[in-house]
Amino acid sequence: MSTFGIYSVAYSGMYVNQAALTTTSTNLANVDTTGASKVQVTSVEQNTVLSNGTSTGDGVSVESITRSRNTYLDSTYRTQNATSTYLSVKSGNFEYINEILSEYDTVTSTDDTTTTTSGVEDTVETFFDAWETLSTDSSSESARTEVVSAGTDLVTMLTDIDEELQQLQADAVTGVKDGVDSLNELAEEVADLNDQIFQAESGGAEASYLRDQRDVLLDEMSALANITVTESNGTLKVTLGGSTLVNGDKTQTLVVEGTGTTTDPLTVKWADSDAIAKISSGSIKAYLEDADQTGYGTIDSSDIPYDFTTSATSSISTMRQALNDLITTLAINLNSLSTSGVDLNGDAGLAFFTTIDSSQPLSITNIQVNPELVADSDKVVASSSDGNSDNTIVDEICDLDSDTTSYSSGGLSLNIIQFYGAVTSWLGTAGDTAATSYTNQAALTTQVDNQRQSVSAISTDEEMSNMIMFQNAYAASARVMSTIDTLLGDLIEEIG
């Protein structure tokens, strides 16, 4: 190789290592930038073919400056992330239901222990205790007043819990709407970045910063729904359940229809075709399930014993129906006995529980202690005849506490306390299962994220090491050029 050829090789070495130092500087500047990927220089040797068929190195050149990114790990992460956020919402709602119930629990402290008992169970037992007291003296007005008060307390507690559960379900409806709005907005931003990247890369260079921004948005979208991302010939495409959400700089819009009631359920559709979007994971899917009220419905006397199941997709609807079953069944049975007897005045018995809105069926959302009994406790029925000593009705009401023919769950016949115990047992088991599933899935998602971060994340130690390496390589190439300069100077001086 000629002297000037060596000079060119040294120059190329300086140029490539200067470019590498520039990328290292860029990496260090973005070490704390969210979503920033490590940028690397890829160099390639330049060969010169000689006339005798042999070749010799002619230096080095920059082949490309690209991000370090693993598209397979990105895809895997987004799939796992959608499952993780789905389980997070489901587990969270179980936790919220438990918190709602625990608000009404009774805490008893002694010198040695602290005991927590179920507020609902205690209130049911207090209600039946009031009837037991009345059965010892059916002519006692104070005992009658206590029965009315205990009944009011029971209805108030259960309806208060149901109202909080309804609010939790309303929050799920809001979660669907907000999630779809966010997904549409993110899709628009991705489409805009697609256009910017296309324009920026038309000259052949990679728009690393814009691609990083886009990947952050795609990660956010994966938390909402089961998106799939593909890129072909520079065009990025995002699909949802097989339908296109983003294609290049174009997007399709999702809309939410329905109010979330049993007669008007929530659905997510494509605005242009009115087809239902196939959402199988992500927070939107979880909120859609928990907003579903299919598992909740009214119960009448012909349904007793009501076959309570936990098969509804919404844990909230399941819990609401459990409480509805508890109070409605009790009300129907107690009313049947109450209306078959007479009050303290010898008048025909009135229903103990009545509807608030007479045009709607009796349910946990439409129940109260009969206002006439609240105004005059003498109208509480304890007897089947005019005799004050006749406790037939009140005794039968007391027996409802242990009656196992009125409640059914999982094929078992239960009394009212056993039924509520079965419900809380389901809640605890299902909640623990959901929490464990979420914990395991979150760990898996984090593991995949750590794997992709090991490829793309910027390490200060690694970049500092690279900087020293590139700096030394640059200095070595410069030293070669300086040596060639000296040789050329000596040669010119000799030639004279």
**Does 178 score more than 80 pLDDT?**
yes
Which residue bears the tokens 């103990």? 352
**Does 458 score more than 80 pLDDT?**
no
Mean pLDDT taken over the chain: 89
- Determine contact, residues 85/221, Cβ cutoff 8 Å: no
d(CA 380, CA 385): 13
Write the pLDDT tens digit of every residue in 83-140: 999 999 999 999 999 999 998 887 655 566 766 667 899 999 999 999 999 999 888 8
Q: Quick one: which of 175, 180, 176 has its CA closest to 271?
A: 180
Q: Quick one: which of 55, 126, 148, 144 has its CA closest to 353?
A: 148
Write the pLDDT tens digit of every residue in 237-250: 999 999 999 999 99
Confidence of residue 483 (pLDDT cuts 50, 70, 90): confident
- State what percent of residues in the chain have pLDDT above 70: 93
Q: What is the pLDDT of residue 109?
A: 58
Q: What is the pLDDT of residue 55?
A: 62
Write the pLDDT tens digit of every residue in 204-254: 777 888 988 999 999 999 999 999 999 987 789 999 999 999 999 999 999
Taken in order 322, 326, 331, 332, the sign of the CA dihedral is positive
Q: What is the pLDDT of residue 81?
A: 97
d(CA 42, CA 23): 11
Confidence of residue 480 (pLDDT cuts 50, 70, 90): confident
Measured between alpha carbons, how far is residue 87 from residues 289, 362, 371, 427, 444 in Å? 12, 35, 45, 16, 13
Look up the pTM and report it.
0.87
Q: Please state the rounded mean pLDDT for residues 462-487.
A: 80
**Does 366 score more than 60 pLDDT?**
yes
Confidence of residue 61 (pLDDT cuts 50, 70, 90): confident
